[in-house]
Amino acid sequence: MRIVVLAGGIGGARFLRGLKDALHNRADQADSQPEITVIGNTGDDITLFGLRVCPDLDTVMYTLGGGINEEQGWGRADETFTVREELIAYGMQPQWFGLGDRDVATHIVRSQMLAAGYPLSAVTEALCDRWRPGVRLLPMTDDQVETHVLVEDGSGRRAIHFQEWWVRYRAQTPAQAFVSVGADSAEPAPGVLAAVEEADLVLLPPSNPVVSVGSILGVPGIREAVAAKTVVGVSPIIGGAPVRGMADACLSAIGVETSARAVAEHYGPELLDGWLVDDTDADAAVDGVTVRAMPLYMSDPERTEAIARAAVDLAVELGGRS
């Protein structure tokens, strides 16, 4: 079985861990080795202190590779912050983004390889050589695509980087719009379209529908390729609120209600075949989409595996090849 997953950071990475467990147990019964290709969001990427940082790719890589800070959900385990303290002592800006020492090493390797001319997809593969995430991790594009946020506050109307809005302002300054800078002329990274075309099914984990899954689908060609497949999504919204993070601030900026039903309608029946919602949202009906309810909190490995298994089962039921 070949599965493609479009993933953001924490929600995407945790779901993927459950999916690996689910497929591992399934493969014990069948004798085919399942393959998972992850198309990672790079819209959150940012250059800080001359280093290229890819938060969502790294969250997936560290989570599946066993290097993640489990409590936090992002960054390295056993992290120290000496470099950050020294930068602050020099008065270096920005100071709102916490780069740990171990994490910095990843960004140095990445930045050096990019400067030498390697595309991000090749750099990601090289980094995964160490972390062995057990999935094929592809950036959505090798081109630079950055999500910027149009805000208006005391300093007037301006566009700031998504990370500044999310991390520095905690998404408290209302967003007027999101701009995927560079998306128009971006191309899917090598292997992305082929992986989707060869996939038996495509899964949308509980990732941010606007700035994670939305950014991936915004790379020309990806949405059409995905829509042609059997696609099942897992709602990141439970009982009218995001489980963690500020996805509601992203949804309201694009005029979508924060509910499991509204997110499915936003993706639309052209893209989505099946949609998993939490039991709380069992009454969510979406025209043209098969909705199924179950507990959707990824509170422990068993529950997360059950969610992933349900997503695969629904996709197979809806026509995905198994």
Binding site for ligand GDP (CB under 6 A): 8-12, 56, 206-208, 212, 234-236, 238, 242-245, 247, 296-298
For residue 313, give every residue at least 6 positions away whose Cβ sits within 8 Å of its Cβ, in sequence order, or none.
none
- In the complex with ligand GDP, which residue's Cβ is closer, 72 or 93? 72
- In the complex with ligand GDP, which residue's Cβ is closer, 132 or 244? 244
Q: Name residues contacting Ca ion, limited to 166-185 (CB under 5 A).
A: none
d(CA 272, CA 289): 6
| Rounded least distance, CB 69 to ligand GDP, Å | 13
- At residue 246, φ and ψ (nearest 5 deg) are -120, 45
Grouping H, G, I as helix, E, B as strand and the rest as coil, residue 137 is: strand
- In the complex with Ca ion, which residue's Cβ is closer, 56 or 278? 56
Burial class (CB in 10 A: 0-12, 13-18, 19+), 106: buried
| Rounded least distance, CB 207 to Ca ion, Å | 8
- In the complex with ligand GDP, which residue's Cβ is closer, 72 or 112? 72
**Considering CB distances under 5 to 8 angstroms, the limit depending on partner class, which of Ca ion, ligand GDP, none binds residue 235?**
ligand GDP
| Rounded least distance, CB 39 to Ca ion, Å | 14
Fill in the amino acid letter for 205: P
d(CA 283, CA 286): 10
Q: Does 11 sit near Ca ion (CB under 5 A)?
A: no
Q: Locate 50 and state its tokens.
A: 């001359």
Fill in the amino acid letter for 194: A
| Rounded least distance, CB 261 to Ca ion, Å | 23
**Considering CB distances under 5 to 8 angstroms, the limit depending on partner class, which of Ca ion, ligand GDP, none binds residue 244?**
ligand GDP
| Rounded least distance, CB 293 to ligand GDP, Å | 12
Q: Name residues contacting Ca ion, limited to 39-58 (CB under 5 A).
A: 44, 56
Angle between helices 10-27 and 301-317 (to 10 degrees): 70
For residue 266, give every residue at least 6 positions away whose Cβ sits within 8 Å of its Cβ, in sequence order, or none.
209, 251, 254, 256
d(CA 234, CA 308): 9
- In the complex with ligand GDP, which residue's Cβ is closer, 13 or 113? 13
Q: Under a CB-based contact definition with an 8 Å cutoff, are residues 40 and 60 in contact?
A: yes
Q: Does 164 sit near Ca ion (CB under 5 A)?
A: no
Residues that bind Ca ion (CB under 5 A): 8-9, 44, 56
